[in-house]
Structure 1
Amino acid sequence: MPTQKLSNYSYGPDAFLELPSVLASYGFQSLVLIGGEKALAAVESDILAILEEAGISVTGSFVYGKAATMANVDSLLQLEEVDVADVILGIGGGQALDTSKMVAKKAGKGLLTIPTICATCAAGTGLSVIYKEDHSFDFYEVTGPPLHTFINTQVIAEAPSEYFWAGIGDGISKGPEVTRAIQEAIGRGFEPPHIALLGRAIAQSSLDALYKYGEQAMEDVQENRVSPALEEVILAIIISTAYASNMVVQPTFDLTTCHAHAFYNGTTAIRASRKHLHGSIVAFGVMVLHAYFDEESQLARVADFNKKLHLPLTLSDMSLSKEDIASIVEYTKSTAEYRNTPFDTGRLAQAIEKADQFGQAIKEE
């Protein structure tokens, strides 16, 4: 049986102060920073001051690029500063952190993460999403989770609110996707072990927190205000959904995503949709998932929530149209979701159209 690994985490306005003690607990004496340009500008000076006072060496600080591509990973792996560092500190949003995770795996080094926005669960997962040079989806890579994640709630509260908004959209997918992926696997004869059932329970708990606190948390982040509601949503997105993913991605099964993310990955084939944030498109993908299985009450709940938070309700909200459905569905055949939780592409096309029609009706109410 494999050893299960989960990321430890610290959170709060003073989370960065935990860096020296965490580094010392692993015996790390040097690190290299890899992050997004804006993310490094926002937090690098504070981090360097803390590390300097603790006598920890920083070998270098590098912008990862503009997207999580293998070309950017390979460029970073050529750097001497990466090679000599004891550990990698990934800083930023999903693509910066996915790049850092891949670099750490290829370099055989430990990884610590600092999410500066709350748009995905990338900071805590043991998975990298890699894209092609044209920004279409390429592949998933199991990297193993970070050793520790430092969540500075003040930094996230002060980040652009649209990332937090998209994070909520992405977050509401974990509960229904894990639940449905496991249910579908059971129908194919799969007997879920304890770790998968625990992952499902955690996934569902994250969903409850997002629906309960999501609206208030959005108000708080728009005011750059750290609050209990904000903290609950941050932990649901970055920790709970990540823990669930890490539990349901194992050497013998992968049940972390299905129809909602298949839809998102399919849309990456349509250039016009790429300007929209990942999580916002996934939020509509959750509507597609429930439409696929004719789960009318769940579809209505998601649509109502999306309307309240101004998340996408229709294809046009994502710069898409009915004419794009065929291309989206065709691209889904190349996704891990299609391999891990097989679906009927004809039904998926119908579900996309049904979700779009449902959203149009909700808009008109």
Structure 2
Amino acid sequence: MTYQFTPADVRFLRSSAGADAVATVDELPLTSASYLSDVAAARRLVGERAGPVLETVLLRRRAVSKVDQPDRWLFTDTALQQATPMPVARHRAHRFAGRDVHDVTCSVGVDLAALAAVANRCVGSDLDEVRLAMAVHNTGVPVVRADALRPVTRATAIFVDPARRDAAGRRRWHGEDFVPPLDALASAYRNRDLAVKCAPGMDFAELPWQGEVELVSLDGQVREACLWTGAFAGPARRATVLRSNGPSWTVTSDDPDDCPVREVGEWLVDPDGAVVRAGLVRQYAAKLGFGQLDERIAYLTGDRRPEGVRAFRVLEGGHYSEKSLRQTLRRRGVGRLEILVRGLDVDPNTLRPRLKLSGPESATVVLTRVGRTPTAYLCTST
């Protein structure tokens, strides 16, 4: 069970005494080995406030991947789980630049902070008093207690991050199960410029959304989908690939998709997950000047090394069987192997020990289907 914060807890944590208590407890290691003794120490140090102080320290340590300067933030466990990583929040906020903006499900304020940095004016709202108090502490932006389905602002652009987990913590994958539901949000803000953050695992092919669907990844991991309507909406589909250290880029359904199906070339590319989930593999291939190995498989191939993209140089390839792959790896002295699979019922974690890897070399094997033929390509990664 995670700690359930109260409004009194938040008032204490925002005070100088609360800040001192958090700083004191933050000096404890709080590792799995020391946790029980550290909890006892925290109770001696800060008394009855140990619960909210301990939870705040632990949440701030987990928040390093989500926000800048996490030691200044207040969170609840659920709010932190659902919080957008700040690079993704900033990317999304860019479309709101110069607008009056209302975040109608502001929670503890991660998205609100990104919006406030670029908006003309910004306000947040939520139904949870604890999260609202935390949002004020975290962002300094004005907030009000309001139901997201009962608009309380006019002529503002709207951002919504509906809850997508049930009471047991299980993910909800259908728009009608969101809180608030997707259809109700679209109806409540029918004539407004609206953006709705969603889970990237939704089936967007069946989503009756009149606007743009954008899939966003950060450092190779698909982080979110965002649904855009009104003046925000552009192409029907967009994939945006963000990098912490390197150039970011985008591909859309309006881009050319003249991508051939061809024999394997010198290079293979496994498209970013945002591209695959957005259904933009052909557009991405055309952007690279590559082709597909099979029209139903996302692996791409070409004869030159693509710039700024992780690519695999093909050493050899042919019909896949576990026996032939094991022989090839033994012949090449491969002891460390990355296994990529599309289109075949192969579990890399089950396959790897059966290959009996041994040797000084590293390699990547791409297992896929070309037509009806199971195929393996042994590669080096660059």
TM-score, with length taken from structure 1: 0.32
TM-score, with length taken from structure 2: 0.31
- Greater fraction strand: 2
Higher relative contact order at CA 8 Å, sep ≥6: structure 1 or structure 2?
A: 1
| Structure label with greater radius of gyration | 2
- Greater fraction helix: 1
